[in-house]
Structure 1
Amino acid sequence: MERIQTYGIRVVGDVHGDLNAFQHATATDRFIIQLGDLIDHGPNSAGVLELMLDLLEYKRGLFILGNHDRKLGRALEGRRLRKDPPLEETLSQLAQPEYASLIPNIYKAIASAPTWLRIERTFFVHGGFHTAMLSQPPLPGLGEITAPLSRALFGETTGRMQPDGYPERRLSWINRIPDGMTVYVGHDRRSTNGRPWKCLGRLGGTAIFMDLGAGKGGHLAWVDINDF
């Protein structure tokens, strides 16, 4: 893309309804690649979605589908989902008159959002990397859950639940990132110092975790990439 070649990329982590932070993150000429989970938990998920639609319309950015975005898409399809208070709050915001007319465009954006993206030796995905992503195009995010799509949306889990009620996650997928490749990922809040967490895998690949808890008491992270 011309904008990427001219200005570079800004990678933005999980937003979770923090509109004020997202406005600051997107106040740039760089092309925005947001890593998913635009919505839920924070105060203004509807406003975040409206801003993302503007970025898409003017070809200033895109978002990778996250698991929270997928849940919203399925809810807008009329599917019955488990009780989820953060999603219910997002739906309540979208039902307000100033946002209700945007719902068809929001659904279209979610249905067409890439579930992973590769640009040269750099990967962008919400939950985690799977080696199948090296040889196949992104799968439809609202379609049937396969191993690569599960990894893209939910990361790698052990099958056990943590005391907080969330699935226990593991990071062995980092060791399968090829040498020289960098994977930017959200979903998993791993940082202990308020900065994106960088981890080198056994094959020489690198994972950079961008979720710093925006909308959940933390803050929004972004990283600028120039070498494209």
Structure 2
Amino acid sequence: MAQIKDLSGYLIKTAERGPFDIIGDVHGCFDELLELLKKLNYSVSYEKTEQAFNVTHPLQHKAVFVGDLVDRGPKSPEVLHLVMDMVAAGIAFCVSGNHDDKLYRKLMGRNVQVRHGLELTMEQLGHCSAAFVRRVRDFLETLPHHILLDDGRLVVAHAGLAEHLHGRHSRTVRDLCLYGPTTGEVDQLGLPVRLDWAANYTGHAIVVYGHTPVHEPAWRNNTINIDTGCVFGGRLTALTYPDHILTAVPAHQTYATPARPFVEHKASA
């Protein structure tokens, strides 16, 4: 079964309780994603006649992607192909990241700045068929900004989300899910100054997110950031829920240079 939207058209609600393997920002790191899925006991094969990936798990785990499938890495189309097939087969869910959203807007012909890795993704998609690019566009259009799982006990959003906004939809909620809260100011690099929303999180739901690369995932007030910067030479990390097991594979190489240093988070008491 594919992803199911509620009436808002942006939010997924499901009573599915897992187990789930929540996977951090992939950013075109296809080989590392295959390696991580194998380490998580998924079986991945490619059916040439159907031009489709077949993915199974012996214990019926489902993958959940925190977004930013594309940009900066070497194989964004391959990542998209695999994730689209997994979602279509009902073995995965996926939320939109800011890079995915920007790619969608570019494919829709909107005026966006082609930088921060989008130029590489567009070059790679230029070698793909028009039908595949249309499929990518249609897939990105369907992605919700956050997912509620296990009767709301688990929330997945690309940049995280405060408790009072879980299950809500507005342009503000969408932007918070994609980019996280900011002060409205920019730093010395010209980048938005981000607010540390997780430091003040008091919700009962576990929130799993990415967006801001960290050296090590750390539990902070029932939240965890699992973006360990694979595309920047770090690792690709997954959190298995409800067991809270972290699994990671190292990047095969450094594909891009981060605009700012990785964030250091200490686990909350």
- Normalization by structure 1: what TM-score? 0.83
Quote the offset at 1:217 in angstroms: 1.8
2:134 corresponds to 1:123 = no
Q: Secondary structure at the match of 2:219?
A: strand
After superposition, the Cα gap between the structure-2 partners of 1:116 and 1:135, relative to the gap in structure 1 and judged at 3 Å, is closer
2:166 maps to 1:134: yes
Alignment partner for residue 65 of structure 1, among 92, 96, 104?
96
Q: Is the 8 A contact 1:43 1:215 kept in 2?
A: no
Q: Which amino acid aligns with 2:178?
A: L
**Deviation digits for residues 114-138 of structure 1 (CA, Å, limit 9, x no counterpart):** 11011131110001213453352x5
Q: Which residue of 1 aligns with 2:217?
A: 196
8 Å contact 1:14–1:36 — kept in the other structure?
A: yes
With over 3 angstroms needed to count, the CA separation of the structure-2 counterparts of 1:22 and 1:174, relative to structure 1, is same
**Structure ranking higher in helix proportion:** 1
Q: Does 1:104 align with 2:125?
A: no
1:17 partner SS: coil
Gaps of 5+ in 2: 2-13, 43-56, 244-269
> What is aligned with 1:203?
none
Deviation of 1:69 after TM superposition, in Å, equals 0.1
Unaligned runs of 5+ in 1: 140-145, 201-205
- The residue number in structure 2 matching 1:223 is 239
Deviation at 1:173, TM superposition (A): 5.0
Q: Equivalent residue for 1:212?
A: 228
**Cα distance in 2 between the residues matched to 1:160 and 1:64:** 27
Alignment counterpart, residue 169 of structure 1, candidates 194, 205, 212: 194
Task: Say whether residues 1:13 and 2:44 are aligned partners.
Answer: no
The amino acid of 2:175's aligned partner reads: S
- How does 1:12-51 map onto structure 2 within 5 Å? 12-27=23-38, 28=42, 29=57, 30-51=61-82
The percentage of aligned residue pairs carrying the same residue is: 27
Q: CA 1:133/1:26 → structure 2, altered by over 3 Å: closer, same or farther?
A: farther
Q: Is the 8 Å Cα contact of residues 174 and 207 (structure 1) preserved in structure 2?
A: no
1:69-106 CA-to-partner distances (Å, cap 9, x unmatched) read 00000000000112415101101101104x54311111
In the alignment, the residues of structure 2 paired with residue 38 and residue 74 of structure 1 have an alpha-carbon distance, to the nearest angstrom, of 15
Cα distance, 1:175 vs. partner?
1.9
TM-score (norm 2): 0.71
Question: Equivalent of 1:181, from 171, 195, 205?
Answer: 205
Structure 1 residue 166, shift from structure 2 partner: 2.1
